[in-house]
Every structure is written in C-alpha cells, then in structure tokens.
Structure 1
Amino acid sequence: MEQLHDLRVSTIKRLPSPRALKKQLPVDDHIASTVCKGRHEVEHILNGTDGRLLVIVGPCSIHSVDAALDYAEKLAGIREELQNELCIMMRVYFEKPRTTVGWKGFINDPHLDDSYDIEHGLYYARKLLIDINAMGLPAATEFLDPITPQYVADVVSWAAIGARTIESQTHRQMASGLSMPVGFKNSTDGRLGVAVDAICSAMHPHSFLGIDQDGFSSVITTKGNPCGHLVLRGGPVPNYDAQSIAGARLLLEKAGLPQTLLVDCSHANSGKKHAQQLKVWEDILGQKAAGNRSIAGVMIESNLCSGNQPFPEDPEKLRYGVSITDECISWEETARMLHEGAEIMGGLISKEV
C-alpha cells in the first residue's frame, strides 16, 4: 500500500515530558512567591485597587542567556527601588512569530544555527525564567506554540497573545486556561475588534486537544480566564494617543469589558524605531497625569545596548547585549525613563492617598 502519512515530514524527535523537565528544574517556595506576587500585582492594577503603573520591559527577544541575566540583575534592582510607583516585570520572550520565515526564537533555535535543538531551548528557557524569578523579578512572555506553556507557564506572571495570532481559535482556547493575566494585542492592521473578541472568548470555558504533564495527548477543559485585557500596539498608524485610547475604551465598554488596557511603546506605535519609544512613553505619562485611569501599563523593548544588529550572522560575531530582532533602547535610557515615570506616578499616587 502506498504511504499515506508523514509524506513531507523528515524527522520526529520525542521530547521529555513537562513533568520530567519540571523535575529537573523545580520551583522552590521563593520562586513560587515571586510568580504569584507578580500575578496578583497585575490583577490588582487591572481592577484599579493598585494605583501603580505596570511596566513590562526587556529585550525584544532572548538570544543570549548571559546577557539576559545581566539585564535582569539591573532590572531587579530598579524594580525594588521604584516599587512604590511602578510594578516592573521583565519581558522574557522566547518565541517569535514570523510574517514569512526567519529565526523563530530561543526555544525553537537556541544555538542560532538552524539546528533546532528544541530540547535545549526548553531546558534553558525554563532555567532562565527560574533564575530571573529567583532575583525577585517576575517574568512576562508571549505564548506562541500551544505546547510551550506546559513547560514554562508556572514561572510566568503575565502572558501575551500577539498581533499575528489574535484571531487564532487555538490561542484563544489556550489563553482561557492560562494561570496568569493575559494581554491581547490588536492585529497588525490596527483592528481592535479582533482583540476584544479574543478577550471575550478566553473568558469562557473551552475544551480542546493538548498534552498533559506526562506528554500524552489529552482533552484539556478550561475554566476561562477572567484577567484578559487589551494591548494597543499600533497598526498602519499609532494608537497610543488620547483619542485612540478613548475609542478603545468605548469598544471595551460596548463589549461589557473593563475599560483598562496596556500600551506598547514599541512595534507599530514607534514605527519600530527604538528612539521613538520615548515619545510614546512621555505621551502616556502625560495622559496619566491628566487623569486617564484606563491606561494600566506599558510595554517597552529595551536591552543592554541600543538598536539591533543584522541576523542571521555567525553567533561568535554578534555584539553582546544588542537585539537580533527589533530595535531596543539602551539600559541607560531605560533607567532614565523608569525614574521619570516613577516621579510622575508618585505624585499621582500621593494625591489619591
């Protein structure tokens, strides 16, 4: 009989189960406390019982564990310093959606050489998240592959569904079962309605195919995620201005959803130019100072050094602390922005008290 399956599959390699990886890299009480504290902080900021500004800041993507740890140490210090005004979490992105083709992120290709050592990628992604949380710094990430959360979601405090997957039923179902608040970005063409639909969908229970902790195919039934929220990332035109945010509030109100959202200072809102993130940041701070309570937080793409560098390239030739995906602002600029934000938010919080 002629072969009917796997006609275009070259290899299949079995991975360790999520349970096996978690046994290798367990979570202790201190790390669990950091994760849970981060999740609760986001929930309280979204529901208005915590007046601080949520700031999710870090590299566009992780490609160097050493550089990520160096960055995390700096960010952990400033999180503690500014904790009364800002709730700071580190952006720790391991998966990169591609419009056509390209590097798919650390989990998929950790060696940057098309070897696709996913077992290595999962191991060191989980280890990095554990090490970051051990510093008292909660982590945020985007979930792209629906299997990945089984391996690392227990050490993530905030998750995103990205602009390229916002209309995917698979990702809406996945979000309905995630244990942390989830931000839904508007689509790349700027539409907000699809993100609002995704939030509503993820609030409800779903049943779908997935894997359990032992790696067996299973029917996953979820309870629904009540902590979904909108993230404005721009489209053909930016959407961080007061008028755009007012429009987003109206759309959320019509859908019967809380009128709180996050603003992404990067991506289409900055035209993918790292220096433009400061303009977005200052506009958001101005809106907060003017009394806008709908803006619960922001996202910033930041690294040890500014800009980005060409890739693919020989990994040995890559500059340390420089993004290989989107442009990022430098650590020095990041620190200045965060201190500026803390000063403004401190004044607002003191008035409320």
Structure 2
Amino acid sequence: MNSSVSALPLSSLNCANEALTVRLPSSLQLKQQLPLSTALSQQVTAHRQAVRAILNGEDQRLLVVVGPCSIHDPQSALEYASQLAGLANDVSSEMLLVMRAYIEKPRTTVGWKGLAYDPHLDGSDDMAAGLNLSRELMLEMIRLGLPIATELLQPMAAHYFDDLLSWVAIGARTTESQIHREMASGLNLPVGFKNGTDGGAAVAVDAMRSAAHAHRHFGVDSQGHPAIIQTPGNPDTHLVLRGGHHGPNYDETSVASINAELKRVKIPSRMMVDCSHANSGKDPLRQPAVFNDVLEQRLRGDHSLIGMMLESHLFEGCQPLSASLRYGVSITDGCLGFEATERLLLDAARRLASHR
C-alpha cells in the first residue's frame, strides 16, 4: 500500500497558544486517487440493499457486524478479512456478515485515535497518510467481497469513505450530537445509533427521529469548501443496544421495554445488540454468552432483534500500544479470537437453519 496523497503545510504560527494548520487533500481528491470501480460500486449498493432488507423484515437472515475493535495493522486486518470472507460464504444462508473496518477510535480523555489519525502508531498524527491508508484498506476488503462498516466519529472524515460503506454506527458518546444526527440524515446507507452510556435508549430514539428528517446544516463539500448541506433524511436507521453504567440491556425485559417505547413513538422495532462493552462487562470472552442469549430470544420469535455486533480479531485479548506488538491482537478493546468467532457463528448458523 502507498500513501501518495500528502498533506500540504499552510503555516507554522510562532505563538505558543496558536494552532498549527496543515492542509489535507479534499475528499474528492482522495476518491479520484483511490477510486471505487463501477463493479465494486454496484457491489456496495447490493450490500446496502441487503442490510436494508434485513432491517425491513424482507430478509430473515441475521445481520452480524464483526471484526477488530479498531484497525491498527493493515496486514493483520486483511488476513482477518480474508478469513471472514470465507466464513461469510459458509453462513450466507442464515447470516449477512459485515466486517468492522473501524479507523477512528473515540476517547473519553486521550489516547491513540485510530488508523486515520495516527497510522504510524508513533504520535506523529500523519492524517493525510492515515486517510489514504484507510481508504486503500477498505477497498481491499471490498475486493474480497465483504460489506464493510465503520463508526463515523469525525463528520469531516466521513466524506473520505462514505461511498465504500454498507453500514455505519454512531457511537454512544455522539448519538446525542446534533451534528452527527444531521450527518446521518444525509447518508445513503443504513445507520445504527447506539444507546447512551447510561444505558437508556431515549437518546438513540431521538436520534433516529431526527435523522429521518431532512436538514440544512453547515458542512464541507467534496472539494473542501464550506457549504450549506441539504439532506433528504434517512429512513434506514435502527437502535444498537450496548448496555450502560448500570449493566447490560440485552435481556428479554429490557428488549421488551425498548420495543414498547419504539412502538409508542411509531419507529420500526429493529435492534442490534452489541455483545461487547457494558453488555459483556468489558470482558471479550463473555461475548459468546451474550450472543447466544440474544439468539435464543430471536429463535423464540422476537424478530425485532435483527442482528448482533462482535469485537473479534485474529487472536483474543488486547495489548498496550508499544514498540513491540503481538501480531493480530487488538491495541484498543479486547477481542474474541477468530477461531472462537468462527465456532460461534457456525453453530449459530446451524441453529438458525434448524428453526426455518
């Protein structure tokens, strides 16, 4: 992979309290440098339609968004993607697997912010190289036949990748943000809003209602100029349950309560359960237990549970960012290893098939 689109320094200001400004390529420039072919564009469109069909109940398969918490090493990410593509074919009758291609990492305070921000893992924050590398990596995953997903954290970064994605998450910290709701209203693809960090669904329900409406808002056009953006509204949103400060919210009672609220405000009852985060007590090895509990609810007839999310990498666990990293192990949240992920999904596919 190369990083041929480089940043252009504008000015280095002398005052210590003034910001250093560095010009990045526009999203149009990067898309021209690393274009999506017509064939792959049609593939992305088909994948988006497949996700929509699951959301609308037209496709009874389970939607599973699975992959590393965040990508830090392109080589291990592509190895994971290659293995996932094979597994996706094996379970395709019962599940649609979408790979997590998360290149931004939300932070409560400070820390490594993701591949798009710091691709060299050294604090140099070479974002031009990060954007280039991230787009190139996503294109390679799409060439493997995979639909891909990411969490859109920085709205300005979204334009560099919006043509490649089949599903998008808006995180627990940003679901309440008007800016992210406006952004989601203009995305031509399905969006999952996570419940707030307190575990309540009200913020995400409000976000879905907001994103369904047209908006005019401040933004940046494809050439990098400030612009008024007019959005059409996005009908393809849903709720992602990720638990909260008081514990999980995937249990049958919580799901029934949230379903009742969705029906009260006349929003389609469709939910994905994030098997990580507070739902697993931040223990990645508890994800299969969460997954199987939700699967049982679905097998008992609750088809508002349209999918699950798993944090998974080549090998289980996590490691701190250092000069000597273990290959295929997350440097952010802990992950389930691929072998355990494969066993879990193959078993789930057999159980789903037996209940047809």
What interval of TM-score do these two structures reach, taking the shorter chain for normalisation?
Answer: over 0.9
Q: Which residue is 1:3 aligned to?
A: none
Q: Which residue is 1:109 aligned to?
A: 118
Q: Which residue is 1:16 aligned to?
A: 25
* Paired amino acid for 2:27: P
Q: Which residue is 2:63 aligned to?
A: 54
Q: Which residue is 2:274 aligned to?
A: 264
Question: Do the aligned residues in 2 keep the contact of 1:285 with 1:344 (CA within 8 Å)?
Answer: no
What do residues 197-230 of structure 1 show as CA deviations (whole Å, max 9, x unaligned)?
0000000011111111111111111000001100
* Paired amino acid for 1:275: L
Match status 1:307 vs 2:317: yes
* Paired amino acid for 1:280: V
Equivalences, count: 341
- Where does 1:16-95 land on structure 2 (aligned, <5 Å)? 16-95=25-104
- Where does 1:198-347 land on structure 2 (aligned, <5 Å)? 198-235=207-244, 236-311=246-321, 313-314=322-323, 317-347=324-354
Alignment partners' CA distance in 2, 1:170 and 1:8 = 27
Shift of 1:284: 1.1
* Paired amino acid for 1:53: L
Alignment partners' CA distance in 2, 1:288 and 1:251 = 19
Alignment partners' CA distance in 2, 1:244 and 1:76 = 33
What do residues 175-216 of structure 1 show as CA deviations (whole Å, max 9, x unaligned)?
100111000000111111000000000000111111111111
Q: Which residue is 2:176 aligned to?
A: 167
Shift of 1:267: 0.6
**Aligned residues with identical type, % of pairs:** 50
Alignment partners' CA distance in 1, 2:182 and 2:16 = 29
Q: Which residue is 1:179 aligned to?
A: 188
Question: Do the aligned residues in 2 keep the contact of 1:211 with 1:217 (CA within 8 Å)?
Answer: yes
* Paired amino acid for 1:327: G
Alignment partners' CA distance in 1, 2:122 and 2:137 = 20
Aligned-partner SS, 1:263: strand
Match status 1:192 vs 2:189: no
Root-mean-square deviation (CA, aligned residues, Å) is: 1.1
Alignment partners' CA distance in 2, 1:164 and 1:222 = 23
Aligned-partner SS, 1:151: coil
Structure 2 gap segments, 5+ residues each: 1-14
Alignment partners' CA distance in 1, 2:116 and 2:177 = 21
* Paired amino acid for 2:153: L
Question: Do the aligned residues in 2 keep the contact of 1:305 with 1:322 (CA within 8 Å)?
Answer: yes
Alignment partners' CA distance in 2, 1:47 and 1:347 = 23
Question: Do the aligned residues in 2 keep the contact of 1:39 with 1:158 (CA within 8 Å)?
Answer: yes
Shift of 1:7: 7.7
Alignment partners' CA distance in 1, 2:286 and 2:256 = 22
* Paired amino acid for 1:319: R
Aligned-partner SS, 1:179: coil
Shift of 1:131: 0.6
Alignment partners' CA distance in 1, 2:67 and 2:188 = 22
* Paired amino acid for 1:70: E
What do residues 78-122 of structure 1 show as CA deviations (whole Å, max 9, x unaligned)?
111111110001011111111111111111111111101000110
Shift of 1:251: 1.1
Question: Do the aligned residues in 2 keep the contact of 1:34 with 1:137 (CA within 8 Å)?
Answer: no
Question: Do the aligned residues in 2 keep the contact of 1:55 with 1:298 (CA within 8 Å)?
Answer: yes
Match status 1:153 vs 2:162: yes
Shift of 1:10: 2.9
* Paired amino acid for 2:305: I
What do residues 261-281 of structure 1 show as CA deviations (whole Å, max 9, x unaligned)?
100000110011111101101
Alignment partners' CA distance in 1, 2:348 and 2:170 = 26
Aligned-partner SS, 1:339: helix
Alignment partners' CA distance in 2, 1:251 and 1:342 = 30
Structure 1 gap segments, 5+ residues each: 1-5
Q: TM-score, normalised to structure 2's length? A: 0.94
* Paired amino acid for 2:341: T
Shift of 1:296: 0.3
Match status 1:125 vs 2:134: yes
Alignment partners' CA distance in 2, 1:151 and 1:58 = 21
Question: Do the aligned residues in 2 keep the contact of 1:69 with 1:132 (CA within 8 Å)?
Answer: yes
